[in-house]
Structure 1
Amino acid sequence: MDNFWAQVLEFAETTTHRVGEQLLQYFGNVQATRKADGSLVTEADRWSDTEIKAAIAKKFPDHAVLTEESQHIVPGSDWFWAIDPLDGTTNFTRGVPIWGIVLGLFYKGTPVFGYVHFPPLNQSFHGFWDASGELNLTPGAFLNHQPIHSSLENPSQNHFFSLCARSTFILKPGFPCKIRMLGVASYNFLAVASGTALGGVEATPKIWDLAGVYPIIQAAGASWIHLSSEPLFPLKAGEDYGQRSLPTLVVSRPELVPIFEPWVEALRS
């Protein structure tokens, strides 16, 4: 790992762990308000957003930022970060210990590095992935610095598949796995990367839910299926992604795509 990527990893780890320590003080002790899109936000979300943006500006002053709480327009610069300062706000406010901080670093509109920290679980995922080969970046996916890979097993009623609240329509007889609903988009997908689940689907995630997870999923060997007619990446500079839902299916290996894809066909747009 060259010096730049070592700095990126160290920065992401140091920043999310520092912010996470403070968020643990808020955990279960804050009131949420409802945003225009129906999602929840707290003072903890806003504090985390401000802290992470300030940290990026100090460490990488030439990097722009795309963030859930304050900046929805895709920057025109080659390098920018996408931030979800608190993924799983409903869990956070209700005292459910699955929530995290999501960072994704983009190069020319596509995420090439992701770091996701879940403070209550003491779990931190990170990964590198550059399909273009332009950055000469060695791919890898890690949980607490240990390499991870998606499962190579076949579906059964002893394997998990994760849903979001808006994809419960797939709950029908014959579904090939046990269903779980964790309440956090990033964790749903990272469970596939680590081999915990064989698949997961999110009906209405936003770009900051997905950006940090995408490189980890790819490097872990899982398959990412964007359930929309337009390509997901590269993002288009100058466009507003604030209200844009990006329905996504992730499965542990390509051979499982035709097994699970028909169950989520209704999410295609």
Structure 2
Amino acid sequence: MEKVEVKELLDAGVHFGHLTRKWNPNMAPYIYMERNGIHIINLYKTAAKIEETSEALAKIAASGKKILFVATKKQAKDIVAEKAGAVNQPYITERWPGGMLTNFVTIRKAVKKMASIDRMKKDGTFNSLSKKERLQVNRLRAKLEKNLGSISDMTRLPGAIFVVDIMREHIAIKEAQKLNIPIFAMVDTNSDPREVDYLIPSNDDASKSIDKILSIVTSAIADGLNERKAERSEKEGKAKKADAKAKPAPKADAAVASEEEE
């Protein structure tokens, strides 16, 4: 895992917190100073927290569990979709579907509905519908795709969630807490860090800052996935060797067979 450079975080504006009057006192340990009525985050603490978070995320990815990214604010949506998508992780960037985690079975049904519409289109059933019905089905498919398309591969509850702006995504936080799903998050100076398991004290409003933090954490996830791949191919290689040893050489078999015939 690459070492986090404080200068890079500074250049990306990760240190800008909220107005001092909007602060959450529980963030005090991560605040360096106040400048022009704005809290400045201590980037040395941010760098340490990024390393801790990255290590934990890499382990979860290596174990084969998914990490669900949640960010519905304008500045974060596209970045999250791009970065999470690149490492094949599910994400929610539209509205958080209530019960996404606590009522996962219902959400899965909606995702399956998308798959069944796709099947209808393939096998020709769709064409036998009336024009009005086809329009309704297409609308439903588009709506499901918009809200749930990015989680269609998530067949079980995620191993963790990663949130940008915990105040905005408070419903997602509550659901994860209920189910004891580890919560990773970018936490700004106006939020309560006690809500999450792994926090990265950082500016969660500026796209440059969000981009920087997400690049680092998704790169750690990629490392975890590569580690898993390497372990798998090593296991497969060993299994093949063991199989080859267990099987008697075909030549010897043939010799034995011809002796018996004689």
| TM-score, length-scaled by structure 2 | 0.24
Q: Which has the larger radius of gyration?
A: 2
Higher share in helix: 2
Higher relative contact order (CA 8 A, sep 6+): 2
| TM-score, length-scaled by structure 1 | 0.24
Higher share in strand: 1
